[in-house]
Amino acid sequence: MMKTFAVNGAGLGLRRELLPSLEPDNVPEVINFFEVSPENWIDIGGRLGKIFRAYTERHVFVAHGLSLSLGGPAPLDIAFLRRMKAFLDEHNFALYTEHLSFCSDDRHHYDLYPIPFTEEAVRHVAERIRIAQDILERPIALENASYYVKPPFAEMDELTFINAVLTEADCDFHLDVNNIYVNSFNHNYDAATFLHGLCGDRIVYGHVAGHDWDKSGMIIDTHGQAACDPVWLLLELAYQTFGVFPTLLERDSNIPPLADLLVEVGHIADLQRRFGNRSGIAPCTSERIPPVPAQVEGASA
């Protein structure tokens, strides 16, 4: 049976830098939906607020949250969650996703930090996801995050932790294949093996993106370049393994002309057509692993 999704096809992040190149009544056909970070728009009124409304009234939108800090030690910001619910309702967002990370403790940080991979953290995050979902009155899809320093006191590896949180919270999964690539390189594991171990039956949404290298030789998840070939191969492998799911091109810095972004969104659509007859969603087990393409094996090199 084909799985149904809240959104379909290929999407693009609606950045303010792109507004001069777009018209809400004349969006290129290859863009099936848009995504925004609600924190960037929730308090925007005036002319920009009217433009945003013109888009949300005409197009399908996904909200990708930045600041819920689901893994953080500070209490959930209930007032913010209520404001978020009103914003999501007002603009009829089809889906809401957040990061499996945290960005606040005693103060707000502007980066997303990894959660310690412990049993206690699994229960902590799962409980906060349930509370947030109750207040928002909609499911939250949780995204695998990139991280640069291994969390201390780990009792399990990253893959086990992600699957444990998804299972404990019984929530949806937002798969970011670039984050797998970035982490696999920086922390020296095999990206394809990692991908195959994920709870594919929970995937409702995906991200593909580019990254940069820093002087120390690490990959930084900047969303500031076109996606590289190994990341596209990971997306192919995800479609091949789990079936096609709605996927967005993330581009948040060093933003090129719209035409360049549309080529990448078109590449997502091409892959979705190519693997579109695959409806089988691999369950949370490694028993149905297909052969790994040789090119992707090198992703963690």
3-class SS letters over 149-173 = CCCCCCCCCHHHHHHHHHHHHCCEE
How far is the C-alpha of 27 from the C-alpha of 29, rounded, in Å?
Answer: 6
Under the binding rule (CB under 5 A), the answer on residue 98 touching Fe ion is no
Q: Which residues of 261-275 are buried (b: 16+ CB within 10 A; e: fewer)?
A: bbebbbbbbebbeeb
193 C-beta neighbours (distance < 10 Å), count = 17
- Which parts of 160-219 interact with Fe ion (CB under 5 A)? 176, 207
Smallest distance, Fe ion to C-beta of residue 176, A: 4
Binding mask of the shown chain, residues 9 to 38, with x at each position contacting Fe ion by CB under 5 A: ------------------------------
Closest CA to 100 of 65, 62, 149: 65
How far is the C-alpha of 2 from the C-alpha of 14, rounded, in Å?
Answer: 29
Q: Which of 118, 140 has the CB closer to Fe ion?
A: 140
Residue facing Fe ion at closest CB distance: 207
Smallest distance, Fe ion to C-beta of residue 79, A: 26
Dig out the tokens for 174 from the structure: 């937002």
How far is the C-alpha of 246 from the C-alpha of 162, rounded, in Å?
Answer: 20
Smallest distance, Fe ion to C-beta of residue 101, A: 11
How far is the C-alpha of 88 from the C-alpha of 78, rounded, in Å?
Answer: 15
Q: Which of 212, 297 has the CB closer to Fe ion?
A: 212
The two beta strands, 102-104 and 219-220, are unpaired
Residue 282, helix vs strand vs coil: coil
Q: Which of 53, 148 has the CB closer to Fe ion?
A: 148
Smallest distance, Fe ion to C-beta of residue 178, A: 7
Q: How many residues bind Fe ion (CB under 5 A)?
A: 2
Smallest distance, Fe ion to C-beta of residue 127, A: 24
How far is the C-alpha of 59 from the C-alpha of 93, rounded, in Å?
Answer: 10
DSSP-assigned beta bridge partners for residue 249: 12, 208
- Which parts of 276-295 interact with Fe ion (CB under 5 A)? none
Binding mask of the shown chain, residues 61 to 90, with x at each position contacting Fe ion by CB under 5 A: ------------------------------
Smallest distance, Fe ion to C-beta of residue 221, A: 8
Smallest distance, Fe ion to C-beta of residue 208, A: 9
Q: Which of 207, 267 has the CB closer to Fe ion?
A: 207
Q: Which of 78, 242 has the CB closer to Fe ion?
A: 242
Smallest distance, Fe ion to C-beta of residue 230, A: 16
- DSSP codes of every residue in 88-127: HHHTT-SEEEEESSEEESSSEEEEEEPPP-SHHHHHHHHH
Residues found near Fe ion in the complex (CB under 5 A): 176, 207
